[in-house]
Structure 1
Amino acid sequence: MSFPWAKAYEPKAPLMRFLDERLPLPRFVYNAVGAGYPVPRNLSYFWNFGILAGFCLMLQIVTGIVLAMHYSANALVAFNSVEHIMRDVNWGWMLRYAHANGASFFFVVVYIHIFRGLFYSSYKAPREMIWLLGVVIFLLMMATAFMGYVLPWGQMSFWGAKVITGLFGAIPLVGEPLQVWLLGGYAPDNAALNRFYSLHFLLPFVIAGVVILHIWALHIPGSSNPTGVEVKSESDTVPFHPYYTAKDGFGLGVFLLIYCLFVFFLPNNLGHPDNYIPANPLSTPAHIVPEWYFWPFYAILRAFTSDFLLPAKLWGVLAMFSAILCWFFLPWLDRSPVRSGHYRPLFRKFFWFGLIPCMAVLFYCGGAPAEEPFVMLSQIATAYYFLHFLVILPIVSLVERPEPLPYSITDAVLGTPENDGTVKGHMIQGENARPAV
């Protein structure tokens, strides 16, 4: 977004002037994350998670490249090559634990980032494209993480690959040929391992490309903020540097403390012990589960147990993919003129006491055995999940009466005294409402 009060880039050193005239990379960085990019002055620590997600992506790419130098994508030696990395490669154990736990922390950061966007309605105009690109990034992350989980070629890797690729077999007519095409055969073996390894190496760079588009789309309308009110004047903003670089630096420091705690002291707590057993096609684990960050969608998949017009397995597959695809339509499902959940009392209740508990149940049931009462709880939570996004959210956006919005971000930060029902410093929703957003 072009702000007339944004400080222009003026290189002073001769070398920087020379570079700016021929390859204006410093100007690009200055305008993207420097003093040339004004940001709303009221951003909370929930806005740190975008930077943290970018850091996690870079961490995964760097550690993944080094690990790829020592890994062998061959079903006969893949498991042993991972053990070789852990035992014989200098600092290999740390790189492997950093990469494995980095995937979990990447998803923690992205889940918080997504739910912040849901609460503050960051998908509303004019930021629809930012949200849509974010959902694409999440889908690519899930594909990359699934393929990476297969690579150690332990028991859970093998059987996870068999179960998940077997879902495509539920698609009528083309399902079984598609499954064979994905695996390169009728069961996970050397061909499947090579394909997953190639794609797991490639997709992070695709994600990085989409992240660049995501940031580019963000800089057109500018960052959202906790009030949902757009920037109106220079007093509503501060330069990104040094204010938010310092704040992001503090958030990154806290993140690294927790991350290093897991890498060095709890490295296996987020994984599954069965994956330290070599893959055995003749021995099925008692309880097959994916990594924890897939659990809510795995719970949705298993919630369908009866055939109705279509096979239960197909219903589960459709529901699992629809659980994410419905996020693409949120900008048009939520018709409220107010963005921030802080000023939407009815929306706020359904979010904190409906959607959040629903997701907690799905997370828990996805990692639990496929038996009662977990199946029934998954069915109830799945029903509410789709009800929330497809029915409750559109109705609430039409019928609720939002609370008064501050007239500007500065008013929200510094406070403005109340007077009558249409105070100068506030926008009241209702008869006397101004266009709030």
Structure 2
Amino acid sequence: MASGLHDSTIQNPVIRWIDQRLPVFTMMQKEYGSFPTPRNFNYLWNFGALALINLVIMIVTGIFLAMNYTAHTSMAFDSVERIMRDVNYGWLIRYVHMNGASMFFIVVMVHIWRNLYYGSYKAPRELLWIFGVVIFLLMMATAFMGYVLPWGQMSFWGATVITNLFSAIPLVGDSIVTLLWGGFSVDNPTLNRFFSLHYLLPFVIAGVVFLHVATLHITGSNNPLGIEPKGPQDTLPFHPYYTAKDSVGIIAYFIVFAVLVFFTPNYLGHTDNYIPANPLVTPAHIVPEWYFLPFYAILRAVPDKLGGVLLMFGAIAVLFVLPWLDRSPVRSMRFRPIAKWALMLWGINFFVLMWAGAMPAEGIYVTIARLSTAYYFAYFLVILPLLAKIERPLPLPESISHAVLRGGGRLHGAAATAKPMEKA
């Protein structure tokens, strides 16, 4: 072999010629073919792959929509209608993009909940978790800006309400709002800014996803038992075992996605957004998209504007420090009987916040939002640190392979006392 060429083992002569000079195929084989993964993954581990597929769908459909969209206040609404009515398959591209945002958040929220349940945020995967939270934050920013682009009533007034929140920041708040608006009200410069950033941020997300996946391949994957593989008997090569398993989840995902797009494409949207934006007519009830509702409820639960803004951003910020708040040596909630039910209650509480965010900010709805907000933060700041000290976890199995052979991680007989809990 000539000096400087990579020693490729690929048999196909054309692919081998490329791989010798740019070993991308060898890298793919190493990282996605023979990469060792725990042998006890369940279907909740499909959602990482589904999130990546959803990101690709959003970028591709967004590029085609941008070809026909006009970022001007006098033409934006009509350009969206033209996409729907006159562009070949424009209605399909827009409905896929519009509902793809909801599907993206569903997939990522399930992915986050799985990490919370199985303790995937704990050492040595803290940075992996932090990159994931960054991705979620970028998704929220991208989705908010995208919601403004159709320039309907809810787009305009949602942009007005949310951007005005920054005015609560002392000293620099008004300057930030003026910078976001590009003037002294939500107008054409605002729409241009949001369109530019909405187009750019998905590529930023793709870059952070690359770091997220790279970190995963360094630390290795967590698993439902929350214990590290102890040898080849505890792992399987990623391909063909998990490519086949992911394929099942991908097919199910596309079935649900197709039902949403072809049968109920406007179910998750708001009817007021099919009315052109009118600064002189305020909608009776301004609500954001459903995936913002829990954080919107937290915002409105506090009577002070600055306090509400701080708590709303704090709801995301607390996730960044979660690996250091939960000091329990056991990862998986399977072996933490009290923490498991506290997390289940937190999940129910999240949906209560979502419901409260969709209701008017008055009467009993405000009280419910305040109680739910209190539990949201108490789970991370009080319950998890306290349980790490007082909870007595169940004994961990000897190894992944031993647990799988004994029945999927449920301990039986002597295995229940075979080994003390190990550190995360």
**TM-score computed with the length of structure 1 as normaliser:** 0.93
Mapped partners of 1:356, 1:281: distance in 2: 38
Partner of 2:37: 39
Match of 1:406 among 390, 397, 418: 397
Please give the per-residue CA displacement for 1:68-94, whole angstroms capped at 9, x wherever unaligned: 000000001000000000000000000
Name the counterpart of 1:331: 323
Structure 2 CA distance for partners of 1:402 and 1:9, relative to 1, 3 Å: farther
1:428 equivalenced with 2:412 (yes/no): no
* Residue 225 (1) aligns with residue 223 (2): yes
CA RMSD of aligned residues (A): 1.3
Deviations 1:351-400 (A, max 9, x none): 11x20121011010111111221111000000111111001110011110
Structure 1 stretches of at least 4 aligned residues deviating more than 3 Å after TM superposition: 416-422
- Superposed displacement of residue 29, structure 1: 1.2
Q: Which residue of 2 aligns with 1:15?
A: 14
TM superposition shift of 1:422: 4.8
Partner of 1:393: 384
Superposed, 1:5-154 pairs within 5 Å as 10-34=9-33, 36-154=34-152
SS at match of 1:100: helix
For residues 227 and 9 of structure 2, what CA distance do their matches in structure 1 show?
31
Compute the displacement of 1:420 (Å). 8.2
Note the alpha carbon deviations across 1:22-78, whole angstroms, 9 max, x for none. 0011112112211x2011010000000000000000000000000000000000100
DSSP-derived class of the 2:268 partner: coil
- What SS does the aligned partner of 1:238 have? strand
The 3 A distance-change label for structure 1 pair 420 and 268 is closer
| Residue among 395, 404, 414 paired with 1:419 | 414
Structural mapping, 1:345-356, within 5 Å:
345-352=337-344, 354-356=345-347
| Residue equivalent to 1:280 | 278
Distance 1:251 1:9 in 2: 33
Higher mean displacement: 163-172 or 407-416: 407-416
Q: Deviations over 1:228-259 (max 9, x none)?
A: 01011111111111110011011000010011
Shift of 1:9: 7.3
Alpha-carbon contact 2:182-2:190 (below 8 Å) kept = yes
1:316 counterpart = 2:279: no
SS in 1 for 2:236: strand
Candidates 249, 255, 258, aligned match of 1:257: 255
Determine if contact 2:8/2:20 at 8 Å carries over to the other structure. no
Aligned 8 A contact 1:135 1:328 in 2: yes
Counterpart Cα distance in 2 of 1:218 and 1:428: 27
What is the distance in 1 between the residues matched to 2:87 and 2:190? Answer: 26
- 1:179 matched to which residue of 2? 177
Structure-1 separation of matches of 2:60 and 2:25: 24
In the TM superposition, what are the counterparts of 1:148-167 in structure 2 within 5 Å?
Answer: 148-167=146-165
Judge conservation of contact 2:48–2:111 (CA < 8 Å) in 1. yes
Measure, in 2, the Cα distance between the counterparts of 1:172 and 1:345. 44
8 Å CA contact retained: 2:301, 2:373: yes
Do structure 1's residue 370 and structure 2's residue 361 form an aligned pair?
yes
Task: Write the distance in 1 (CA, Å) between the matches of 2:311 and 2:17.
Answer: 56
Ranges in structure 1 where 5+ consecutive residues have no aligned partner? 1-7, 306-311, 430-434
Query: Identity of aligned pairs, percent?
Result: 58
Q: How many residues align?
A: 414
| Structure 2: 5+ residue stretches without partners | 1-6
CA distance in 2, matches of 1:359, 1:417: 34
Pick from 351, 371, 376 the counterpart of residue 360 of structure 1: 351
Tell me the SS of whatever aligns to 1:405: coil
**Offset, 1:16:** 2.6
Q: Which structure is higher in helix share?
A: 2
Residues 99-150 of structure 1: per-residue CA shift (max 9 Å, x gap) = 0000000000000000111111111001011100000000000000000000
Query: Relative to structure 1, is the Cα distance of residues 417 and 85 closer, same or farther in structure 2, using a 3 angstrom cutoff?
Result: closer
Equivalent residue letter for 1:394: P
Partner of residue 235 from structure 1, selected from 227, 233, 236: 233
